[in-house]
Amino acid sequence: MCCEMRPGFGFGSAQRGIWRSWPALCSRQQRFTASLGSAKKLHVMAATMPAPSEARKKSKVIVISGPTGAGKSRLALEVARRLGGEIISADSVQVYRSLDVGSAKPTASEMSMVPHHLIDIMHACDDYSAGMFFHDARTATQDVLGRGSVPVVAGGTGLYLRWFIYGKPNVPQSSSDVISSVWSELAGFRDSGRWEEAVELLLKAGDPEARDLDTNNWARLSRRLEIIRSSGSPASAFTLPYSSFQKQQDTKLIDSPSDDAISEVKELEYDFLCFFLACPRVELYRSIDLRCEEMLADTGGLLSEASWLLDIGLQPNMNSATRAIGYRQTMEYLLHCRQNGGSSSPEEFLEFLTKFQQTSRNFSRRQMTWFRNEKIYQWVDASQPFEEIVQFICDAYNGSDAMVLPESLEMKRESCVHTSKDLKTYRSENKVFLGHEECCHVLDWIRRTQGK
């Protein structure tokens, strides 16, 4: 699942100890070890750090993440139920109304057990961004705390969680005139599918990282061009709170910080207790494959939701909702069916299913890669007894100090490395769509509904 380390940072016992203790260090970031050195440094620390009685007591916030299909929603629900908490969704698709099955949205029964936030707040035609999530999630967190409840933030959208925890970059907002101008400037490229030419335009405008963008992510490219047109500088020129905090922690753990570094200690807004739910590669892939089949088995699920997106005039990869994994692939398949007068062969459907499963597995690998250097998370082995995992998280919240995950529940990061070779050698084993016969009801639905 993930975990190649950064260059020069291997997995010896000492380094592994740093990874296991890092979340505790982050939650107690004003405590420095005596090994920092000279009496002068200790004097500076004493002068800059408030006394324990003076330090602001930060509210605790639980964050539960993990790759798609790992079971983080179930875990978050039970933790919130036991602690009297409320769940704040950190899922970029669950914000959309009517996109229920493809986003694995909590059921009405589950949402009646525990209050949920940031679900069903947007129409599918609208875009939702990390900046919008930061504002909405921080507001929801304060509201939950104000009611005396426990905020449990749950989801797998890495950028959303990074900004929520560390803060939003100081990138300037674009005016409506700039947004409209950039939209018009890119319209010709977008409508004709000339992605590479648009990238070259962004590169010439002054963004040195233009070629790092995901292919056909027009929304991200537009935003990067808006930043240049608004400020004269590329996005990379602006401070990233995450990067600043990581450098600060690296300094405290590995090197002796300078006096200046000690006097400029940055703090997180809350006392975050962060858990990343991981499981063995094959087990995760099997779970993802079955999940994809189940989303398609009932034609009233993902197929109907993707058909509705087409009916309201959206196209695959047009905005946040239609770029989402599952919706994009299903919309492309249904468009093909519509172009063929509402017909599809079993082979075409099974080919679409295979593509959907493969894309979902690739996404889980990218999630693992994203979180591999997020040291604030404790990695939990999802294959361990559910009750023990829930109890540990509840105990960690109720304890007066941060708790280090016991080895019996820990998923070793080095055991979760997912390589391209892993994905190439893995073979799906369908449980629902075993052959042509199991596809008949889907093909009948396509003939009835897509031959418009």
Q: Where are the chain's structural domains?
A: 13-172+240-280+368-417, 176-237, 289-364+421-449
Tokens of 179: 């947004």
pLDDT at 49 over 60: no
Highest mean pLDDT among 29-33, 171-175, 229-233: 229-233
Instruction: Report the pLDDT value the prediction gives residue 327, as an integer from 0 to 100.
Output: 97
Contact call for residues 128 and 319 (beta carbons, < 8 A): no
| Class (C level, CATH) for 13-172+240-280+368-417 | alpha beta
Contact call for residues 380 and 278 (beta carbons, < 8 A): yes
For 294-349, the pLDDT digits (tens) are 999 999 999 999 999 999 999 998 888 999 999 999 999 999 999 999 999 999 99
pTM listed for this prediction: 0.79
Residue 41 parent element (H or E): helix 39-48
Mean pLDDT, range 266-287, rounded to an integer? 90
pLDDT at 285 over 50: yes
- ∠27-31-33 over CA atoms, to 5°? 125
Spell out the residues 6+ positions from residue 88 whose beta carbon is closer than 8 angstroms to its own. 116, 117, 118, 137, 140, 141, 144, 151, 152, 153, 154
In the chain the first and final C-alpha atoms are separated, in Å, by: 42
pLDDT confidence bin for 5, thresholds 50/70/90: very low
Instruction: Report the pLDDT value the prediction gives residue 26, as an integer from 0 to 100.
Output: 56
Mean pLDDT, range 280-291, rounded to an integer? 91
pLDDT at 260 over 50: no
Whole-angstrom distance, CA of residue 80 vs CA of residue 87:
7
pLDDT confidence bin for 423, thresholds 50/70/90: low
pLDDT confidence bin for 442, thresholds 50/70/90: very high
Whole-angstrom distance, CA of residue 10 vs CA of residue 4:
9
Tokens of 198: 């648009």
Closest by CA position to 115, among listed 90, 146, 89, 142: 89
DSSP state for residue 415 in the 8-state scheme: G
Highest mean pLDDT among 20-29, 87-96, 163-172, 220-229: 87-96
Whole-angstrom distance, CA of residue 114 vs CA of residue 100:
18
The mean pLDDT value of the chain amounts to 83
pLDDT at 56 over 80: no
Contact call for residues 365 and 156 (beta carbons, < 8 A): no
Whole-angstrom distance, CA of residue 132 vs CA of residue 255:
36
Whole-angstrom distance, CA of residue 346 vs CA of residue 220:
36
What is the phi/psi pair of residue 194, to 5°? -90, 70
Higher pLDDT, 16 or 277: 277
Spell out the residues 6+ positions from residue 420 whose beta carbon is closer than 8 angstroms to its own. none
DSSP calls for 274-304: EEEEE--HHHHHHHHHHHHHHHHHSTTTHHH
pLDDT confidence bin for 19, thresholds 50/70/90: very low
pLDDT at 256 over 80: no
Contact call for residues 151 and 62 (beta carbons, < 8 A): yes
Whole-angstrom distance, CA of residue 223 vs CA of residue 217:
10
Burial group, residue 170, by CB count within 10 angstroms (0-12, 13-18, 19+): exposed
pLDDT confidence bin for 177, thresholds 50/70/90: confident
Whole-angstrom distance, CA of residue 168 vs CA of residue 185:
27
